[in-house]
């Protein structure tokens, strides 16, 4: 079978195309139509005027981390190293100490996250058994050197500004306050409560009858 030859030679330009001017005017007309439309109708702009305007991000946004505190102000973290172990970027560094309150046992003497290495995956939040590390919707993180990108306890501890009006607010966390399942105090899969499949599974678990009490052991002589 003879080889098929494809003609890729450009078609000769018409007289109007060779003038170039009509194409330039057409392009300018389009540019100016967008320019004037955006001047009079700024709401239709797909871009936002940062920092005066800010985009509303999802409740599950993975931004800067915070360490949650108990009612007495102490960190909820018990320095169990679960988050450090789960972290795929190896950017969490913890040093544990003995807590003066016996019930807490341990606390982090040092807790650091290197945000130049962090990939914002949220695995640390999922791994934490103490609900001690959450993420916020704060994405304004820039640094001039590596030292300032390493956040210690003083920068990670939750502050009022994190949740105040105009603040970043909570992002990715183990559960969400608005969840009807959470309000009912029922089973809720950590961090994945919004997934419909897991919700159905949770509903099925909640419908299960409570386990029957074991019969008392027979007395032996």
**Single residue of 19, 48, 101, 119 touching ligand SF4 by CB under 6 A:** 119
What spatial distance separates the first Cα and last Cα of the chain, rounded to whole Å?
A: 100
Please give the structure tokens belonging to residue 130.
């103490």
Q: Return the range that interacts with ligand SF4 (CB under 6 A); candidates 38-46, 111-119, 175-183, 184-192.
A: 111-119
**Single residue of 61, 64, 113, 202 touching ligand SF4 by CB under 6 A:** 113
- Burial status of residue 111 (CB atoms within 10 A of its CB: 0-12, 13-18, 19 or more): buried
202 touches ligand SF4 by CB under 6 A:
no
Please give the structure tokens belonging to residue 18.
């060779």
CB of 199 to ligand SF4, least distance (A): 24
* Number of residues this chain uses to bind ligand SF4 (CB under 6 A): 27
Closer CB to ligand SF4, 120 or 149, in the complex: 120
Which residues of 42-167 form beta strands (DSSP E)?
65-67, 92-98, 106-114, 133-135, 150-151
Closer CB to ligand SF4, 116 or 199, in the complex: 116
d(CA 134, CA 181) in angstroms, rounded, equals: 20
> For residue 142, what are the CA distances in angstroms to 32, 115, 139, 147, 170?
36, 10, 9, 12, 20
Q: By the 8 A CB rule, do 180 and 187 touch?
A: no
Closer CB to ligand SF4, 189 or 199, in the complex: 189
Closer CB to ligand SF4, 108 or 188, in the complex: 108
Closer CB to ligand SF4, 132 or 193, in the complex: 132
**Single residue of 54, 130, 157, 182 touching ligand SF4 by CB under 6 A:** 130
CA 218 to chain centre: 55
d(CA 26, CA 24) in angstroms, rounded, equals: 5
Residues 47-106 that bind ligand SF4 (CB under 6 A): 77-83, 86-89, 91-92, 94
Closer CB to ligand SF4, 68 or 199, in the complex: 68
Binding site for ligand SF4 (CB under 6 A): 77-83, 86-89, 91-92, 94, 113, 118-124, 127-128, 130, 132-133
């Amino acid at each position: 079978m003879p080889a098929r030859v494809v003609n890729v030679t450009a078609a000769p330009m018409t007289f109007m195309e060779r003038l170039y001017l009509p194409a330039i005017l057409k392009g300018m007309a389009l540019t100016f139509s967008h320019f004037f439309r955006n001047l009079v109708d700024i709401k239709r702009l797909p871009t936002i005027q940062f920092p005066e305007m800010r985009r509303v991000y999802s409740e599950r946004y993975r931004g800067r981390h915070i360490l949650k505190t108990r009612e007495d102000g102490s960190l909820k973290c018990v320095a169990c190293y679960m988050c450090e172990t789960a972290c795929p970027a190896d950017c969490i560094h913890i040093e544990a100490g003995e807590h003066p309150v016996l019930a807490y046992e341990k606390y982090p003497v040092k807790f650091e996250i290197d945000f130049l290495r962090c990939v914002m995956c949220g695995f640390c939040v999922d791994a934490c058994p103490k609900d001690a590390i959450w993420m916020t919707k704060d994405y304004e993180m820039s640094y001039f050197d590596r030292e300032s990108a390493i956040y210690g306890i003083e920068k990670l501890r939750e502050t009022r500004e994190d949740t105040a009006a105009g603040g970043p607010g909570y992002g990715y966390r183990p559960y969400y306050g608005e969840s009807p399942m959470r309000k009912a105090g029922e089973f809720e899969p950590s961090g994945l409560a919004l997934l419909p499949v897991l919700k159905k599974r949770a509903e099925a678990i909640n419908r299960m009858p409570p386990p029957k009490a074991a019969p008392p052991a027979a007395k032996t002589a």
